[in-house]
Amino acid sequence: MLLVCIALFCSNIILIQGKIDYIRKSINELDKNVTDFEKYHIKYGTSGSDHPCKRICQGETPPMFCGYQFKIENYHTLSKACYDCPFNVKDCFRKDCVPGDGTKRGIVTINRQIPGSAIEVCHNDIVVVDLQNKMTSEATTIHWHGQHQIATPYMDGVPFITQCPILPHNTFRYMFQATEVGTHFYHSHIGMQRVDGAFGPLIVRVPDEENPHKHHYDFDLSEHVMVIIDWNSELGIEMFLAHHHNDGTNKSPTILINGLGRFKTFYGRANKPIYTPPARFKVKQGYRYRFRVINAGFLNCPVEMTIDNHSINLISSDGSDIIITPATSLVTFAGERFDFILNADQVNDLYWIRFKGNLDCGEKFTKAFQVAVLQYDLHDDLTDDDRLLNKFPRGQVTFENAHVDGLQINPVNIGTEGNDQVVVMPYLESIRPVDESLKEIADFQFYIAYDFYNVSHTEFYKSPYYAFFDVKNPRQKVRTPQFNHISMEIPSFPLLSQREEIADDMFCNNDTIQNKNCLEEYCTCAHGIKVPIGAVVEIVIIDEGLSYDANHPIHLHGYSFYVVAMERLGTSTTVAEVKEKDAKGLIRRNLDNPPLKDTVTVPDGGYTVVRFRANNPGYWLFHCHLEFHSEIGMAMVVQVGEKNEILPVPHNFPKCGDYSLDPMEGMHWS
């Protein structure tokens, strides 16, 4: 392998070279093992509950191949599979019934479930998913959110960055090692399919001896995974088009928990209001349970969760363990995961779990909220499940009473300047020993600033006919969220798998685009930054905060980063202000024990600082996890390593790209 060695990184590259050789070797092994996998026809499971890979993880036993069949298709809530749901609540739990919130609408499902089948494996198992695209007219890919794809960067599932979109009627086999432990999820990475229902849990467990929190709880059950998503009454694409081309809303009216919730009112006998069933989480008094929360969110809808008469004990975020942090409520943003322990130490009863929307789902807008039920095993005549399905905790939950005062983890738009009623991300204390990415000064520092800008995004405005400033109706004047005033232009071929087609000057960024006035004109290009393998990288993410009180959860593929600082400076800020603060040493970084995450938010009018060591070569997407934002270019690529230092793709990996016929060629008139 040819290596270009810049002074500072020579030793790093030699180190990394060893790692790449190691990974190459494991890929070959993996290939061989997959042949075995084919040979022995290890049983495919389609449902999570009885899969052979869902087992007690033990240190000595070798990793397993864990096969899954995923069929992604266009589907519908309350289909005929639902029979008499919600009037007969039991019918809502029939096979293939997706009740949602009671609204009848088109959806996109994996195996006709929302969430899709859970993948539950042990650390270092090989996950093999045959994804069959049964949609009539949409391509798809799946991203394994939280997995770093160390040996398989081409399995990251980002269309036109790591692979070609999988066409309708085609099947693509994803295969990767579950190297990252903890609570993760998978979701479609194309268009609006995630919010239409194409997501599911991906849980990676460890042997007890590797679990620092093992002695703090008694059970870690599949049924205590809690997937949150904001939810709408129509397909995501319909909402997207109405918002961007006309005056449609971008705010979700409600929230689903594990695909369930109450929103639409039906009327039963004697005009009694009836709802589709909420999610239920069952516990036995006297035991402690590990809950795993996944926010698969779609729009600007951070969700606050509280459990009546119970506090929570946070133990992990985005798969990394932290020192136990007790609290009353937990806020999750799109793409984040949190694990907590619930101590079932109250009287045998039913309790509301309350979910309250914030920002676009909050007080000023849709007032979205949802409930789930925490259900103790009631040792009386009601243990009959059917009758319990119609029992609810006392009291009505409303948007207003869905908030509970008390210590809150991950508050909206508050950083380290906050008060003692909040726990902000840099103050969650990592259990893992820290590594050299927390050295005083990083090798590379990037500032990435964003806001909604008053520019004519060329997909939605057309000068001189209907440029941004010509549009009179304020509801049609949608502003464009951008990183550093640049919208990501998605390449026409996948960067990783067809990297030979990348031109030397293909990428742009804040430094290369100086000749354009991107503050006023709309700028779009293949937004990318590049760092050498092994470099310690710091990204200072700034939310300028001028337009709206929004909030953008930012996700980096291929890595976990340390969240070392997070602060709100005011209702708005500027790059210059943050740079000046930094120059004066006024950005206080937690370089001792910050948490490792892969998705983090930035207070509106403030900054968040993240650190990682660039030891995973590849083209990795860095983007806002709100679907309307990433879809229109609030994204960029972090290239780690040179083209030839990034692992090659397997032979016969699918290709795609533009094609046009040369007018002089190919015509064979007779």
Binding site for Cu ion (CB under 5 A): 481, 552, 624, 626, 629
d(CA 278, CA 392) in angstroms, rounded, equals: 10
Among 343, 346, 445, 476, binds ligand NAG (CB under 6 A): 346
Based on the shown chain and the rule CB under 6 A, indicate whether residue 451 belongs to the binding site for ligand NAG. Answer: yes
Closest to Cu ion by CB, 205 vs 552, is 552
Beta 312-317 vs 279-283: how paired, if at all?
Answer: unpaired
User: Which residues, other chains included, contact 624 with Cβ-Cβ below 8 Å and sequence gap of 6+?
Assistant: 450, 481, 552, 553, 554, 555, 630, 634, 635
Based on the shown chain and the rule CB under 6 A, indicate whether residue 572 belongs to the binding site for ligand NAG. Answer: no
Among 366, 484, 498, 608, binds ligand NAG (CB under 6 A): 484
Q: What is the DSSP string of 166-190?
A: BPTT-EEEEEEE--S-EEEEEEE-S
Backbone torsions φ then ψ of 35, nearest 5 degrees: -60, -45
Closest distance of CB 473 from ligand NAG, Å: 12
d(CA 593, CA 313) in angstroms, rounded, equals: 19
Site for ligand NAG in 16-35 (CB under 6 A): 26, 29-30, 33
Closest distance of CB 569 from ligand NAG, Å: 15
> How many CB atoms lie under 10 A from the CB of residue 161?
24
Closest to Cu ion by CB, 252 vs 313, is 252
d(CA 259, CA 282) in angstroms, rounded, equals: 17
d(CA 509, CA 511) in angstroms, rounded, equals: 5
Closest to ligand NAG by CB, 575 vs 587, is 575
Closest to Cu ion by CB, 126 vs 488, is 488
User: Which residues, other chains included, contact 648 with Cβ-Cβ below 8 Å and sequence gap of 6+?
Assistant: none
Q: Is residue 258 classed as helix, strand or coil in its secondary structure?
A: coil
Q: Is residue 570 classed as helix, strand or coil in its secondary structure?
A: coil
Site for ligand NAG in 186-225 (CB under 6 A): none
Based on the shown chain and the rule CB under 6 A, indicate whether residue 64 belongs to the binding site for ligand NAG. Answer: no
Closest to ligand NAG by CB, 239 vs 449, is 449
User: Which residues, other chains included, contact 575 with Cβ-Cβ below 8 Å and sequence gap of 6+?
Assistant: 447, 449, 542, 544
Closest to ligand NAG by CB, 44 vs 447, is 447
DSSP assignment letter at 534: T
Closest to ligand NAG by CB, 332 vs 487, is 487
Q: Site for ligand NAG (CB under 6 A): how many residues?
A: 23
Based on the shown chain and the rule CB under 6 A, indicate whether residue 648 belongs to the binding site for ligand NAG. Answer: no
Residue 638: burial class (beta carbons within 10 Å; 0-12, 13-18, 19+) = buried
Closest distance of CB 346 from Cu ion, Å: 39
Binding partner of 624, given ligand NAG, Cu ion, none, CB within 5-8 angstroms per partner class: Cu ion
Based on the shown chain and the rule CB under 6 A, indicate whether residue 449 belongs to the binding site for ligand NAG. Answer: yes
Binding partner of 629, given Cu ion, ligand NAG, none, CB within 5-8 angstroms per partner class: Cu ion
Based on the shown chain and the rule CB under 6 A, indicate whether residue 56 belongs to the binding site for ligand NAG. Answer: no
Based on the shown chain and the rule CB under 6 A, indicate whether residue 454 belongs to the binding site for ligand NAG. Answer: yes
d(CA 355, CA 650) in angstroms, rounded, equals: 44
Q: How many degrees, rounded to 5, is the angle at CA 391 between CA 385 and CA 394?
A: 150
Closest distance of CB 602 from ligand NAG, Å: 13
d(CA 85, CA 94) in angstroms, rounded, equals: 9
Please choose, out of 39-47, 290-298, 406-414, 446-454, the segment that lies near ligand NAG by the rule CB under 6 A: 446-454
Binding site for ligand NAG (CB under 6 A): 26, 29-30, 33, 62-63, 126, 308-309, 346-347, 349, 447, 449, 451, 453-454, 484, 510, 514, 546-547, 575
